Amino acid sequence: MSTNLRRHWMLQGIASIGECGLFFVAVLGAVPKSLRYWRELARQIWFVGAMSLVIVMTCGLFVGMVLALQLYYTLSIFGGTAALGTVVALSLFRELGPVVTALLVAGRAGTAVTAEIGLMRATDQLDAMSMMAVDPLAYVASPRFLAGLVAMPLLACVFNAMGIFGGHLVGVSWLGLDNGTFWGNMTSTVDLHKDVLDGLYKSVVFGGVVSLIAVFQGYTAPPTSEGVAYSTTRTVVFSSIVILAVDFVMTAFMT
């Protein structure tokens, strides 16, 4: 009876949320110790950030371009195509930049982190580290968590810049909007604090969430090939859900 109750899926879900919270605290506690391994941190920023640049820049360009096309169509119904630059910039900075970057990073870097740590667990590398008096939380988990926290806002900025470039390409070069109108309306409306920085705060939170989920899923992956595969899938699924849910909550508080 009691084991049946304990296996209930709802309780399991709540238990894993609790585990993830405790793991978060443990990772935070290991952060001061992990600064000793700053080379590992630099390598992880390189892996999460620099290696994601190509995909983030390409996607940013295309998102900006399609945004300009779609919004031009919508705005032309109301005769407001002069606002194209403003609308493209605001949708990118406030919403699409942070969210799409986070989803891309979850798919590209989060899965790799989960699989890597999961295989470390499966091949007993984490236990070997503890036996050598190297705290795996400080050497493996914390640097990857911090790397996500640092790399995500920078990637979101690159995404936004490429998106603006793509929007300009379509709006001005292709659809023939006036260059001065495009930039002038944008610069007069977009606010540094309310738009650019709020988007940046969002992406810092997303970076923390994505890397926490990736590291946690890897750390708790069952030490089998099937278990690692499931954990990698769960990283993408949970990251996407949590990103979009947190995005809604943060937007509700910020506006």
Partner 1 sequence: MNPRPSYAIGTGLFILLGFAALAYLATQTTSVANIHRGNSYLIKARFQNIGQLKERAPVKIAGVRIGDVQSIALEPQRMDALVVMSIDKRYNDIPDDSSAAIFTSGLLGDQYVGIEPGGSPTFLKNGDEMVLTQSAMSIENLIGKFLVNGGPKSSGTDAAPASATPPASGKP
Contact positions vs partner 1 (CB under 8 A): 39, 42-43, 45-47, 49-50, 53, 89, 93, 150-151, 153-155, 157-158, 160-161, 164, 183, 186-193, 195-196, 200
Shortest reach from residue 204's CB to partner 1, in Å: 12
Shortest reach from residue 189's CB to partner 1, in Å: 7
Shortest reach from residue 38's CB to partner 1, in Å: 10
On whether the CB atoms of residues 148 and 49 are closer than 8 A, the answer is no
DSSP letter for 133, please.
T
* Residue number with CB closer to partner 1 (157 or 236): 157
* Residue number with CB closer to partner 1 (135 or 195): 195
Secondary structure (DSSP) of 41-106: HHHHHHHHTGGGHHHHHHHHHHHHHHHHHHHHHHHHHHT-GGGHHHHHHHHIIIIIHHHHHHHHHI
Angle, to 10 degrees, between the axis of helix 225-254 and the axis of helix 198-219? 160
Cα torsion for 85, 90, 92, 97, to the nearest 10°? 150
Shortest reach from residue 165's CB to partner 1, in Å: 10
The whole-angstrom separation of Cα 59 and Cα 23 is 32
The whole-angstrom separation of Cα 110 and Cα 52 is 11
The whole-angstrom separation of Cα 55 and Cα 199 is 20
DSSP letter for 7, please.
T
Token output for 132? 């050598």
The whole-angstrom separation of Cα 96 and Cα 195 is 12
Identity at 38, one-letter amino acid code? W
Shortest reach from residue 52's CB to partner 1, in Å: 9
On whether the CB atoms of residues 134 and 185 are closer than 8 A, the answer is no
